[in-house]
């Protein structure tokens, strides 16, 4: 089978099947073999690994993954791509294609059945509109994960690794950094894709922590607090929590902030992950 990372081969497959790009699925196919090599290298895949690929498209990266891994499960939402994948992956016997929405797949069960419950590696060239729900879904459901190596919009990759005091800092930054160590592997310009996206992309690897870097009594409460703090960025933390329905009075919060050595009028965006964890533990202990 011809390597699909070469543009001419991608065009040939699309013409053969008269394929039309679906805007609603945010389809942009990679046409740069050096970027594909970087992704495979960054994901540290070995012949012992089961890899879950999200959004294989026409199978460009899937071919590379099949060469590197023991087994690949590729989840593709667009049914028009299924016959193409059957063709482009015909010579690999270690790949299963599932025509489903990744948000509805029981990944934990997949890991149980295919990998004996051991952590899997996730690799994806993610449609930009669905990046956050997919990543949060993978982390929050506590699927056994080793790492997630993904191509995302450049600004989303930046957002995942920044700290307080920057405009990109937000709930996604904190969530990613609670569960994993983020590392940008490569920046990828628009001309590496077909069709060309309007924005630059980046490959980022999220290596799952065995235990989170902060101690939290109630993870769900901490993330409720984080979301409430960033829902209205320009407001103080106190107003954010009040509007977000967090069960704490103004006086209780003032006392907690004083204990933490923080000013009463502080904004949520100024708090570090460790401070959100501490705040959440104080609120939890008051309410218990």
| pLDDT score at 5 | 78
pLDDT tens-digit profile of 198-257? 889 999 999 999 999 999 999 999 999 999 999 877 889 999 999 998 989 999 999 999
Across the range 147-154, mean pLDDT stands at 93
| pLDDT score at 126 | 79
**Residue 236 DSSP class:** B
What domains does the chain contain, in order, with CATH numbers?
Answer: 7-208 (3.40.50.150), 219-287 (1.10.8.100)
**Higher-scoring residue by pLDDT: 145, 10:** 145
| pLDDT score at 121 | 97
Across the range 127-143, mean pLDDT stands at 84
pLDDT tens-digit profile of 20-53? 766 666 678 888 999 999 999 999 999 999 999 9
| pLDDT score at 275 | 97
Question: How far is residue 51's CA from residue 122's CA, in Å, rounded to a whole number?
Answer: 6
Across the range 68-85, mean pLDDT stands at 94
Burial 2-21 (b: 16+ CB within 10 A, else e): eebbeeebbeebbeeeebee
| pLDDT score at 21 | 64
Across the range 100-113, mean pLDDT stands at 92
| pLDDT score at 63 | 95
Displacement of CA 108 from its chain's centroid (Å)? 16
Residue 279's pLDDT band, with cuts at 50, 70 and 90, is very high
């Amino acid at each position: 089978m011809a390597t699909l990372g070469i543009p001419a081969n991608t065009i040939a497959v699309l013409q053969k099947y008269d394929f039309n790009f679906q805007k609603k699925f945010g389809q942009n196919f990679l046409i740069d073999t050096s970027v594909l090599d970087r992704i495979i290298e960054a994901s540290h895949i070995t012949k012992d690994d089961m890899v879950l690929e999200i959004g294989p498209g026409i199978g460009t990266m899937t071919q590379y993954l099949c060469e590197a891994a023991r087994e690949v499960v590729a989840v593709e939402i667009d049914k028009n791509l299924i016959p193409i994948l059957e063709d482009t992956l015909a010579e690999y016997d270690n790949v299963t294609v599932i025509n489903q929405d990744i948000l509805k797949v029981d990944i934990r069960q997949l890991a149980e059945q295919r990998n004996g419950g051991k952590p899997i590696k996730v690799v994806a060239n993610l449609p930009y509109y669905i990046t956050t729900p997919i990543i949060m879904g993978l982390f929050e459901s506590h699927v056994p994960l080793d790492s997630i190596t993904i191509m995302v919009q450049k600004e989303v990759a930046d957002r995942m690794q920044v700290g307080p005091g920057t405009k990109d800092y937000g709930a996604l930054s904190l969530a990613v950094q609670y569960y994993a160590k983020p590392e940008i592997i490569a920046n990828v310009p628009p001309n590496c894709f077909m069709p060309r996206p309007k924005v630059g992309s980046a490959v980022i690897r999220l290596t799952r922590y065995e235990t989170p870097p902060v101690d939290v009594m109630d993870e769900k409460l901490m993330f409720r607090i984080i979301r409430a703090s960033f829902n209205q960025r320009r407001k103080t933390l106190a107003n954010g929590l009040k509007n977000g329905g967090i069960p704490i009075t103004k006086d209780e919060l003032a006392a907690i902030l004083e204990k933490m050595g923080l000013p009463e009028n502080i904004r949520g965006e100024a708090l570090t992950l460790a401070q959100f964890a501490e705040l959440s533990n104080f609120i939890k202990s008051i309410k218990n």
